[in-house]
Amino acid sequence: MSLLVFVEQRDGQIKSTSLEAVSAARQLADAGAGGEVVAVIAGRGTASPESLGAHGADRVLVADHDLFARYQAEGYTAAVAAAHAQVKAAAILFAASAMGRDLAPRVAARLGAGLASDCTALAWEGGALIATRPVYAGKAIQKVRIAAPPALASLRPRAFAAVEHRPGAAAKVEKLDLAFAAAEARSLVVEVGAAQGGKVDLTEAEAIVSGGRGLRGPEHFHLVEELAAALGASVGASRAVVDAGWRPHSEQVGQTGKTVSPKLYVAIGISGAIQHLAGMTSAKCIVAVNKDPEAPIFKIADYGIVGDALEVVPALTAAVRAAKANA
Amino acid sequence: MKIAVCLKQVPSTDTRVKVSADGKRLDPAGVTQVINPYDEYALEEALRLKEAQGGEVVACSVGGAGVVSALRNALAIGADSAVLLKTEGEPDSLGVARLLAAELAGQGYDLVLFGKQAVDDDAAQVPAMVAELMQLPCATVAVKLEIAGGRATAAREIEGGVETVEMALPAVVAAQKGLNEPRYASLKGIMAAKKKPIAEKAVAAPAPVVETVTLTLPPARPAGRIVGEGAAAVPDLVRALREEAKVL
């Protein structure tokens, strides 16, 4: 049996989260799930598909189509289904990106297959996929078993390392036979708008600085932005300040916002409501600045400073700039 | 327009998770059950469309008898009628999608709305599965929706931006926070809801393909430390981040 990985491209470039998925598939294959790792790419002129060999793909099936330059749900579903029909995969992996989270359930429904979403670990036991996945935004961890092939899983960005199992290796690239007529496309992406300044999405960020009510007003949020800029971090926010209209919802961290796992998470003036903590406790290093020494955020922070955000943050920004300049 | 709003009843977001004795699910004792927060945006969008363009809003849910309270709440907020697909089994996402697709097919719905995910299992699977099973176009994680001339235009959130999707009705749309500002049930609405119909239909849950093995609490983080107070503590913090945590 083989493993299939859907590899995502945006503007013809393979996404790093897909390299994580290919690496994870290689590990799963080597752990007994199957021999061959096959990647499937839907796109139009995707750059260097053979390079997936480095991360462990043996073959790459490329579905090139005029409609596939951007995400096209029905077409991409057809491509993955056609690849599966050819490969008869034991499992099909996706990145749990915006695209993967839209596509994987469609493929699951088409194939009548089980899907584990947003997984943080995978194992192969007794011919079944065992997937570990946070639920309740990370307040609990669920392990699920999918015995019937193909077992589908989408992988949380940054939870799996992109490992070059075979540095420099080239995968065999083949054209995927796919009959997909334009009339089968029931939806079309007509525009892709990037956020201003090419910001890194919170779910993919290496570092995040989040601000909360302790900043006292939206006019002080520039302090968070400046610290984030000094750290090369993305900007996040608590639910309280999003609901108050200080910040857009795309920046909200927590149970009705984004679940994040950066290397560094800095919480500025955030007390640490349970729904916020759920969204960020898997960060590797947590720093908190808060006026209240009893704030729940200090119970999970690795390092805390008790103090007024308006006083501490400018000092911290200056110190980080100085430290980076000397590095 | 005939609009279905598919709702799930979930533990409220302030729930502290305790694992039940079988080690596979949430201990329901003392847990407040609410309409999934994202589904509230779907319901609000349906009500706004009905107010602007006329039509009918049907709330639909899958689950045990306890789910009636979520549907009654949806009726109080403004849905016209409700359907409960009553099952004692525990279907997985594909099972739920199959039950919903079977119920909704052939009923003349122009729009089937969902929340983008339920905040209990965080699977975010059912909307796109229902679309696939019903052969409908779908926009998930929608932060903006416009319906005109039998077509839907939705802005969906993607990494670091939005993409605009166009599709013909009927269509499936899954709401993200930010789509609108949901209203609360008014006293008048609560009174009116008592007279609105909830159709209960007993259904057999398809056997789950995805089986829960365990539910556990995440490992506790090792205790951290307060570095100090005020701006004076900044040098110690930066040193710790550089030398201990090695994140600078």
* pLDDT, tens only, A227-239: 999 999 999 999 9
Written as one string, the DSSP assignment of chain B is: -EEEEEE-EEE-TTPPP-B-TTSSSB--TTPPEEE-HHHHHHHHHHHHHHHHH--EEEEEEEE-GGGHHHHHHHHHHT-SEEEEEE-SS---HHHHHHHHHHHHTTS--SEEEEES--TTT----HHHHHHHHHT--EEEEEEEEEEETTEEEEEEEETTEEEEEEEESSEEEEEPTTS--PPPPPHHHHHHHTTS-EEEEE-PPPPPSEEEEEEEPPPPPPP-EEEEESGGGHHHHHHHHHHTS---
- Under the banding of pLDDT at 50, 70 and 90, the label for residue A119 is very high
Query: Mean pLDDT over residues A85-107, rounded?
Result: 97
| CB atoms B234 and A281 under 8 Å | no
Pairing of strands B2-7, B33-35: unpaired
Residues A308 and A244 in one domain: yes
**Domain interval for residue A74:** 2-184
Identify whether the C-beta of residue B135 lies closer than 8 Å to the C-beta of residue B106.
no
pLDDT at A91 > cutoff 60: yes
Please provide the CATH number assigned to the domain covering B2-202: 3.40.50.620
Residues A41 and A142 in one domain: yes
Whether residue A251 is predicted with pLDDT greater than 90 in this model: the reply is yes
Enumerate residues 15 to 44 of chain A having a beta carbon within 8 A of any beta carbon in chain B: none
Whole-number pLDDT of residue A200: 79
Furthest C-alpha separation in chain B:
68
Residues 170-189 on B with a CB inside 8 Å of A are 171, 176-178
**Across all residues in chain A, what is the average pLDDT?**
95
Measured between beta carbons, which residues in chain A are less than 8 angstroms from residue B137?
73-74, 186-187
Residue A177 and residue A50 share a domain: yes
Do residues A120 and A211 both lie within one domain?
no
pLDDT band at A196 (very low <50, low <70, confident <90, very high): low
Q: Does pLDDT of A203 surpass 90?
A: no
Q: Which B residues 4-23 touch A at CB under 8 Å? A: 11, 13-17, 19
pLDDT in tens, A29-78: 998 877 899 999 999 999 999 999 999 999 999 999 999 999 999 999 99
Residue A326 has a pLDDT of: 84
Last residue of a domain, one of A129, A157, A184: A184
pLDDT band at A254 (very low <50, low <70, confident <90, very high): very high
On whether both A313 and A273 belong to a single domain, the answer is yes
pLDDT, residue A194, reads: 75
- Please report the residues numbered 234 through 253 in chain A whose beta carbons come closer than 8 angstroms to any beta carbon of chain B: 248-250, 252
In a domain, A191, yes or no: no
**Same domain for A263 and A168:** no
* pLDDT(B113) > 80: yes
Distance CA A178, CA A308 (A): 60
In B, residues 39-68, which contact A (CB 8 Å cutoff)? none
Q: Which of A129-133, A203-207, B74-78 has the lowest mean pLDDT?
A: A203-207
CA distance A197 to chain B (A): 10
B43-98: pLDDT as tens digits: 999 999 999 999 999 999 999 999 999 999 999 999 999 999 999 888 999 999 99
**Within this chain, do residues A160 and A299 fall inside the same structural domain, yes or no?**
no
B245 contacts on A by Cβ (under 8 Å):
264, 284-285, 302-303
Predicted confidence band at A246 (pLDDT cuts at 50, 70, 90)? Answer: very high
Q: Which residues of B are less than 8 Å from A108 in CB distance?
A: 93-94, 125, 129
Q: Does residue A262 have a cis peptide bond before it, meaning omega lies within 30 degrees of 0?
A: no
pLDDT tens readout for residues A309-326: 999 999 999 999 999 898
Q: Whole-angstrom Cα distance, residue B171 to residue B131?
A: 8
From A184, A206, A234, give the residue that closes a domain. A184
Residue A4 distance to chain B (closest CA, Å)? 19
Q: How far is CA A213 from the centre of its chain?
A: 27
- Domain membership of residue A320 (yes or no) is yes
* Averaged pLDDT score across all residues of chain B: 96
User: Can you read off the two tokens belonging to residue A80?
Assistant: 């993955």
- Quick check: A264 and B241 CB within 8 A? yes
Q: Which pLDDT score, from 0 to 100, does residue B197 have?
A: 97
Residue B134 near chain A (CB below 8 Å): no
- Confidence band, pLDDT 50/70/90 cuts, at residue A4: very high
Q: With an 8 Å Cβ cutoff, are B224 and A137 in contact?
A: no
CATH number, domain at A9?
3.40.50.620
Asked if residue A189 is part of any domain, the answer here is: no
Q: Tally the domains of chain A.
A: 2
Please check the confidence at residue A198 and state whether its pLDDT lies above 80: no
| B248/A320 Cβ within 8 A | yes
Least confident of A154-158, B141-145, B234-238: A154-158
CB atoms A303 and B128 under 8 Å: no
- Residues A214 and A123 grouped into a single domain: no
Distance from CA of A186 to the nearest CA of B (A): 5
Residue A80 in any domain: the answer is: yes
A237 and A158 in a single domain? The answer is no
- Residue A195's pLDDT band, with cuts at 50, 70 and 90, is low
Chain B contact for A13, CB < 8 A? no
- Are residues A305 and A222 part of one domain? yes
**Complex confidence, ipTM:** 0.95
Cα–Cα distance between A278 and A84 in angstroms, integer? 36
Q: Which of A182-196, A255-269, B136-150 has the lowest mean pLDDT?
A: A182-196
CA distance B145 to chain A (A): 14
- CB pair distance less than 8 Å for B210 and A114: yes
CB atoms within 10 A of CB B174: 30
Q: Could you tell me if A163 and A276 lie in one domain?
A: no
Residue A29 lies in a domain: yes
B213 CB near a chain A CB, below 8 Å? Answer: yes
| Closest residue, chain B, to A208 (C-alpha) | B247
List Cβ neighbours of A196 (8 Å cut-off, separation of 6 or more). Answer: none
Last residue of a domain, one of A146, A164, A184: A184
* Residue B109 confidence (pLDDT): 98
Mean pLDDT (whole number) for A280-308: 96
A174 and A225 both lie in a single domain? no
- pLDDT tens-digit readout, B183-198: 999 999 999 999 999 9
CATH code of the domain in which A243 resides:
3.40.50.1220
> Residue A313's pLDDT is what?
98
Whether A199 shows a pLDDT value over 80: the answer reads no
Interchain contact, A148 vs B209, CB within 8 Å:
yes
Residue A268 host element (H or E): strand A264-268
pLDDT (tens digit, 9 = 90+) per residue, B115-145?
999 999 999 999 999 999 999 999 999 999 9
Residue-wise pLDDT tens digits, A10-43: 999 999 999 999 999 999 999 887 789 999 999 9
What are the structural domain ranges in chain B? Answer: 2-202
